[in-house]
Amino acid sequence: MSIQTQTPNSLYYTPAILADFPDLIAAESTRHGGVSPAPFDSLNLGINTMDTPENVAENRRRFFDAIGADAHSFAYSNQVHGTDVLYATKAGRFDGYDALITNQPGLLIGVTVADCVPILIYDQAHQAVAAIHAGWRGTVGGIVTKTLTMMQQRFGTVSGACYAYVGTCIDECSFEVGPEVAEQFAATYKQTKSGTGKACVDLKGANVSCLIDFGIPAKQIAVSSFSTVLNNDTYYSFRAENGQTGRMLAVIGLKN
């Protein structure tokens, strides 16, 4: 497992573990380079915010153009913090899914985040991809395992051929939770915060464990070193900004 530490450029960051595959587009946006005013400044890519649709549309145009996906179709969902997985075969906005998979060239899939974990998976052998939104509910509900199982059933995915990126989210020290949430996580992924005595949960670590348990080699998994809270000047954080903020996109797709 590697830690991705390079600095993002103005609009997006390409996970190094996915950067060298010529048939793949993969990117995680930042909050820079858009047109939205505060508190959405500036590259807000989230539709379900109080930002104007015109701003979001322009921001998305800039983002897709920057990553070289302007000619690709895009499939995404209104996320509900669940564990349902959509096999996407066409572009559009769907409802009720927190993960998408596809093997269709020219179709980009993605998830919006502002503290939850974005996870991108590439099955090199079967040319299939996944984009996952994992909050604490999705994490304890096994959304990573469910997504990989569906890829296995649909595409014949084998774990040894997969590469995964666990993206930027709230860090372990910032994610304070109540006892009803903490009790759902193994002791390995929680700690008691000194000073407050509250429990904190490591979402990145818990989802990395799911990837490894499925059989993906640790050397084929990379984890963002950034935090939406600690690096709030570069990423949106729902918690740090009291809900008045934008959203990032984490996207992946096969080139035409």
Alpha-carbon torsion (90, 96, 100, 102), positive or negative: negative
Q: Express each pLDDT in 43-65 by its tens digit.
A: 999 999 999 999 999 999 999 99
**77 located within any domain:** yes
**14 located within any domain:** yes
What range does the domain containing 47 cover? 2-172+204-254
With 0-12 / 13-18 / 19 or more C-beta atoms within 10 angstroms meaning exposed / middle / buried, residue 232 is: middle
Q: What single-letter amino acid sits at 74? A: F
The number of distinct structural domains making up the chain is 1
Residue 186: per-residue pLDDT: 95
**188 located within any domain:** no
**134 located within any domain:** yes
Output the pTM of the full model: 0.96
Q: Give the pair of three-digit tokens for residue 216.
A: 């993906």
Report the alpha-carbon distance of residue 235 to residue 32 in Å, rounded.
8
Instruction: Strand 73-78: give its sheet, edge to edge.
Output: 12-13, 24-29, 248-254, 107-113, 73-78, 92-95
CATH number of the CATH domain containing 83: 3.60.140.10
The mean predicted confidence, pLDDT, of the chain is 95
**130 located within any domain:** yes
**178 located within any domain:** no
**161 located within any domain:** yes
pLDDT band at 197 (very low <50, low <70, confident <90, very high): confident
**187 located within any domain:** no
Q: Express each pLDDT in 85-128 by its tens digit.
A: 999 999 999 999 999 999 999 999 999 999 999 999 999 999 99
- 100, 251 contact by CB (below 8 A): no
**Beta bridge pairs of residue 189:** none
Residue 4: per-residue pLDDT: 63
Report the alpha-carbon distance of residue 221 to residue 164 in Å, rounded.
5
Q: What length is written for the chain?
A: 256
pLDDT band at 8 (very low <50, low <70, confident <90, very high): low
- Which is it for strands 12-13 and 24-29: parallel, antiparallel or unpaired? antiparallel
pLDDT band at 195 (very low <50, low <70, confident <90, very high): confident
Instruction: Strand 176-177: give its sheet, edge to edge.
Output: 176-177, 199-201, 190-192
